[in-house]
Structure 1
Amino acid sequence: MSESIAEVAAAQEALISKYFDLSSATLYIYDHLISLDSEIELFWRRRAFASALFLLNRYLTLFCMLAQFTIFIIPPPAQQSLPRLKVYDYVYYISVIGQFPVWGAISSIRAFVVCSDLRRSICRWSSAITVFALYTAPCGINAYGRFAPVVPSAEAQKMFVIASRMCLSVADIIVVVVTWRQMRRQMKLFSTAVRRRYRPSYASVLLRDGTIYFLVLVPFNAVHLIFSLYSILGQSPRYPTSGIPIFTTPITAILISKFLVHLQEIESATGTSSQSAWQTGLLVLQPSVGPRSREHSPEPSTSTPCRRDGTREGSLQGV
Structure 2
Amino acid sequence: MSSKAAIIDNYEALFASNSAVYAAYTLIFFEHILTFGDEVEVFWKRKFTGATVMFLLNRYLILVSYILELASVWIKSDYVKPMHLYRCMVDVRITDVFYYALYIPWAVFAALRAYALSNRNWPLAILVFLLGLVPYGMDMGQFAVGLTGYVDPVWGCVTAIPGFSQTLATQMTIAARTTHIACDAILIVVTWYSLRRRMRGISRLPLTATIVLVVLNSLRLILAMPLPVHCVLTVILVSHFLLDLQRASDTSRGLGASSLSYSDAEAYSTSTVVFDRVVGSMGASLEPATSADETEDSDWDHSSSEAHHWQRERGDVY
When normalised by structure 1's length, the TM-score is: 0.73
AA matched with 2:169: Q
- Aligned residue in 2 for 1:52: 53
**Residue 232 of structure 2 corresponds to which residue in structure 1?**
250
Q: CA RMSD in A?
A: 3.0
Amino acid at match of 2:226: G
Query: Corresponding residue for 1:88?
Result: 91
Q: Is the 8 A contact 1:54 1:257 kept in 2?
A: yes
- Aligned-residue offset at 1:217: 1.1
Residue 84 (structure 1) shift = 6.1
The match for 2:113 is 110
Tell which deviates more after alignment, 156-165 or 182-191: 182-191
Structure 1: how far apart are the matches of 2:164 and 2:217? 21
Q: Residue 170 of structure 2 aligns with which residue?
A: 158
State the partner residue of 1:133: 130
Q: Distance in 1 between matches of 2:68 and 2:195?
A: 41
Between the two proteins, the alignment pairs up a number of residues equal to 259
Partner of 1:301: none
Q: 1:38 to 1:159 in 2, by over 3 A?
A: same
Q: Given the alignment of the two structures, is residue 266 of structure 1 paired with residue 271 of structure 2, yes or no?
A: no
Q: Residues 295 and 30 of structure 1: is their aligned pair in 2 closer, same or farther, counting only changes over 3 Å?
A: closer
Q: CA deviation at 1:63?
A: 1.1
SS of residue paired to 1:278: coil
Letter matched to residue 285 of structure 1 = A
Q: How many angstroms apart in 2 are the aligned matches of 1:251 and 1:7?
A: 32
**Which of 1 and 2 has greater Rg?**
1
* Alpha-carbon offset, residue 85 of structure 1: 4.3
- The CA deviation string for residues 87-138 of structure 1, in whole angstroms up to 9 with x for no partner, is 323321111111101100001000000012xxxx6xx111110111011111
Shifted more, 265-274 versus 162-171: the winner is 265-274
> Structure 1 vs Structure 2: percent identity of aligned residues?
26
Gaps of 5+ in 2: 147-161, 257-267, 275-283, 302-318
- Please say if residues 114 and 182 of structure 1, whose CA atoms lie closer than 8 Å, have aligned partners that are also in contact: yes
| Moved segments of 4+, more than 6 Å | 272-276
- Residues 69 and 92, structure 2, Cα contact 8 Å, conserved in 1: no
Q: Is the 8 A contact 1:18 1:71 kept in 2?
A: no
1:151 positional shift: 1.4
Contact 1:25 1:69 (8 Å CA) reproduced: no
1:253-297 deviation line (CA, Å, top 9, x unaligned):
00000111110111122217999933386524259x99943289x
Query: What are the equivalent positions in structure 2 for 1:147-296 lying under 5 Å apart?
Result: 147-149=144-146, 151-191=163-203, 208=206, 211-228=207-224, 242-244=225-227, 246-271=228-253, 277-279=272-274, 283-285=287-289, 292-294=297-299
Structure 2 vs 1, CA of residues 222 and 278 (structure 1 numbering), >3 Å: closer, same or farther?
same
| TM-score calculated relative to the size of structure 2 | 0.73
